[in-house]
Structure formats: structure tokens, C-alpha cells
Amino acid sequence: MGREFLNIMDPEDVKKIIKNIPINKRVENISLENSLTRILADDVHATINLPPFRRASMDGYAVIAEDTFSASEDEPVSLKLIEVVGAGDVPEKNLVKGFCTEVSTGAPVPEDANGVVMVEFTDKNDGQIIIYESVAVGQNITKEGSDVMAEKLLLPSGTRIMPDKIGVLSAMGMKKVPVFKKPRVAIISTGNEIISHDEELAYGKIYDINSQTISSAVITCGCTPVHSQIVKDDYNSLREKINEFKDLDLILTSGGTSAGTGDVLREVLDDMGEVLVHGVAVKPGKPTIIGRLKNGDDYKFLFGLPGNPVAALMVFHVFFAPFLRKMASINVSTSFPYKNVLELKLSRRFRPARGRTHYLLVKIEDGSAVPILKDSGAITALAEADGFIEVPKNVEILEKGSIVEVHSLGGLINPII
Ligand code: AMP
Ligand code: MG
């Protein structure tokens, strides 16, 4: 048996409720090679000086700089070569006045050398090196620790580990890195008519769409989806399934959120805990539920998406994705791939829903946002859409040519894998 909607809430109030949900973060140590896209759970300080030794920044000859001060094209200076030091070698001979050591880029320079003459300004002649240009003290030598000194902060906690940051961690010789554990999110599709892709498409049935769309959206938010079998519109089955997933970080369901026959989620949540939201003043997505379940001394939260696949994805994107990203410690304001908003002109006049915030799917054609005026259950709307625009509830008409902000519908440019 269904029940009435609680009271239709303003979307901003729903966002506030979601913002106040407490988050439990856990940390794990993983190997550096598996850490791509993960979020650092601790500050990383340099453990060594970088570079770890004084090294040549050019191919050439390590010298005592003073020996070269008088060198010029017309009156070159001649120094005797005493040693050749390649990258990875260790210099064995000390340098004294009148001598030089051949060094490659990245090779350690002998202790007494205080400059490296670039090979381009030299000639070789029978064990003597002819030098045509002077070097200043310190020239072409990178000092130990000049990049970073041990103990200095390199990467703050919360940094997303991308290829450049992997380089930084590798420079420290780190094999393991502390990262936030990926939150685990249960994905439960409900409905007597919903079947899995392994089943025959019998009359009256439809393939499960939401498990796929929502779980992939969950992945783009840095969380791990945990799949469930499809649950029938049956009080006991749904209650059992929710119980089964109570130890995960969050439960996402789709379908059965309205107040009609077969919509049992509201009743299950009333009995298992508390319903915080039932009904939001948005189109599509009005039948959205947020429930709070007691789990020992803790609370678990359940987000109930409408069954309609367009509405489910839209509600997920607008209300729940920010929460999932927060659980996963992904800082949206500082990670530029998420600023997926385009300002475009609307291609035609549009009259939005009255009294509700309207999320309108659009496609981008010839640099304009073209409204997709299909039934909100139409899958072809998703096929055509490039994004959506948000029309506030008090807007009566959007004129042709007005500037709208097109948001990407989960098609993030740089998804979290
Ligand atoms: P409901 O919210 O359960 O009333 O469902 C609304 C509409 O969405 C109905 O036409 C359902 O058949 C459809 N629907 C619900 N869940 C799914 C799903 N997992 N995949 C595809 N369509 C669904
Ligand atoms: Mg249903």
C-alpha cells in the first residue's frame, strides 16, 4: 500500500538536508601504481632532498670556475681532463686547479668543482680540454635539495592523484600511499516489471536501465557501486534487501517512490527509520525520497530515486552526486574537470513547469541549446541530450535567444575511474 507524499519540499531545502548528512571517511594504504585518480588521505612531506646530490644540469666539463674567468674565443683556456663521470657514476678524483672532469647531464659533480662549462663551448685536444667561455660560480650545477628539502610539505591531504602527482610521489621513492577508501554504494532497482538483461523480454516487462545508469554515475563520483538483484514491489523483499546493504556507506534505490499501489519504499522506510524527504518541487523527479535508518549507534541513509530513468539520472546528478563526491573527498571547486558548464543561447522560446524547478534536457546544435521536448520517460531524450538547463520555479517564459547555462549530465570530461 502506498501513502501520501509527505510534503513537497523546495529543492534548496532538500540540498540543505543532504549537506548536513554526516560522513564517515576511512583510509587505506595502496600501492602507488594503483593510486591513479584516488585522493590522498594525509599530507605527504618530502622524505629526502631533491635532487639528492649536487649534479650537472648540462653535458660538459666540471671545473673550478676561477680557472675559466679569462677564457674567450680568442684566448681560450686549456684544462687537463682527469676523469669522465656519466649519469649514475660516482666521481672518484678530486678536482684541483688546472684540471677538469667530463660530466653528463644528471651526473654528480666532484666536490671541489663549482661550475660546469657546456660542451658546446669546448674542444678536445689530446687529453686537454680547450675552453672558450668562462663560467660563473655555480653555473650549470643543480644544488642538493634545491628542488625540495626533506620534511617540506609536497602534497596536502585531499590532493587527487593524477599522473603529475604520481611523479612527485615516485620522486620520494614511495611504494604505498594513504588514500581515502572509496565509499561503497548499494544500487537497488525495484519494480515488478523490471527484468535483468539475462532474462527474456516477456510482455509487460522492460529491461533494467537504472542499475546501469546510476552505477556508472556513482563511479564518476569516485564511489564503488555494489549491485543488487532487482527487487519486486513487495514490502518484505524490499525490507530484506535494504537490511542486507545496511553496512555499506549509502543505499540508492530507484522506483516505487510515489504514493501509489506497489510503491512500498515509503512504508518500508517509515517502519525501519525515518523519512526526511518525500516529494521535491522539481520536474522531473518529484517522487524522490530520503530515508534515515538506525544501524546500531549509527545512522544509514537511503536515497530513493524515481523509477523514470531520465528523472532518476537528473535527480542523482542535481541532488545526490555532490554528496557522493563529498563522501569520496573529491573537491569539486578545485578540480577543474567538473566545471562542465557552457553558456549558450536558447534556440527557441520555452515555457517551463509552473511552481517547480524545471530541469530541461537540451542538445547543442550550431552553438545553441535546443530544448528536447519529449516525455520525461523517453529514452531517446537521453540519447539526444548533451546536457540540461535549470529553470527556476518562478520563471514563466524563457525567451528565444536568452543565455542559459548548460550542465553536463554525468558525461564528465575527466571521469574518476
Ligand atoms: P516508478 O517510479 O516505480 O513508478 O516507475 C516509473 C517509471 O519508470 C515506470 O514506467 C517504470 O517502469 C520505469 N522504471 C522504473 N524502474 C526502472 C528501471 N530500473 N529501469 C527502467 N525503467 C524503470
Ligand atoms: Mg515501480
Note the pLDDT of residue 260.
Answer: 86
Torsion of CA 304, 23, 158, 12, to 10 degrees: 50
Nearest-atom number in ligand 1 for the CA of 230 is: 19
Note the pLDDT of residue 60.
Answer: 98
Parent domain of 284: 11-26+181-333
pLDDT tens digits, one per residue of 365-377:
999 999 999 887 8
| CATH number of the domain to which 269 belongs | 3.40.980.10
| CATH number of the domain to which 131 belongs | 2.170.190.11
Portion of the chain with pLDDT greater than 70, in percent: 95
pLDDT tens digits, one per residue of 175-212:
999 999 999 999 999 999 999 999 999 999 999 999 99
Residues 161 and 230 in one domain: no
Note the pLDDT of residue 331.
Answer: 79
Instruction: Output the CA 250–ligand 2 centroid distance in Å.
Output: 21
Instruction: Output the CA 43–ligand 1 centroid distance in Å.
Output: 45
Note the pLDDT of residue 415.
Answer: 47
The verdict on residue 3 lying in a domain is no
Nearest-atom number in ligand 1 for the CA of 211 is: 19
Residues 60 and 202 in one domain: no
The verdict on residue 1 lying in a domain is no
Residues 237 and 324 in one domain: yes
Instruction: Quickly state the pLDDT bin for 283 (edges 50, 70, 90).
Output: very high
The verdict on residue 413 lying in a domain is no
pLDDT tens digits, one per residue of 294-348:
988 899 999 999 999 999 999 999 999 999 999 999 876 655 555 578 999 999 9
Instruction: Output the CA 322–ligand 2 centroid distance in Å.
Output: 26
Average pLDDT, the chain: 94
Q: Which of 333, 364, 386 is the last residue of a domain?
A: 333
Note the pLDDT of residue 324.
Answer: 96
Report the predicted TM-score, pTM, of the whole model to 2 decimal places: 0.90
Mean pLDDT of 48-65: 98
pLDDT tens digits, one per residue of 1-34:
445 676 899 999 999 999 999 999 999 999 999 9
Is the confidence at residue 416, as pLDDT, over 80?
Answer: no
Ligand nearest to the CA of 304: 1
> Taking CB atoms and a 6 Å cutoff, what residues make up the pocket around ligand 1?
189, 191, 193-194, 206, 208-210, 254-258, 287, 306-309, 377
Mean pLDDT of 342-358: 95
Residues 350 and 376 in one domain: yes
The verdict on residue 89 lying in a domain is yes
Contact at 8 Å (CB) between 56 and 140?
A: yes
The verdict on residue 238 lying in a domain is yes
Ligand nearest to the CA of 193: 1
Total tally of structural domains belonging to the chain: 4
The string over 303-338, giving b where at least 16 C-beta atoms fall within 10 Å of a residue's C-beta and e elsewhere, is bbbbbbbbbbbbbbbbbbbbbbbbbbbbeeeebeeb
Joined grid coordinates for residue 394: 518562478
Q: Which of 295, 315, 333 is the last residue of a domain?
A: 333
The verdict on residue 125 lying in a domain is yes
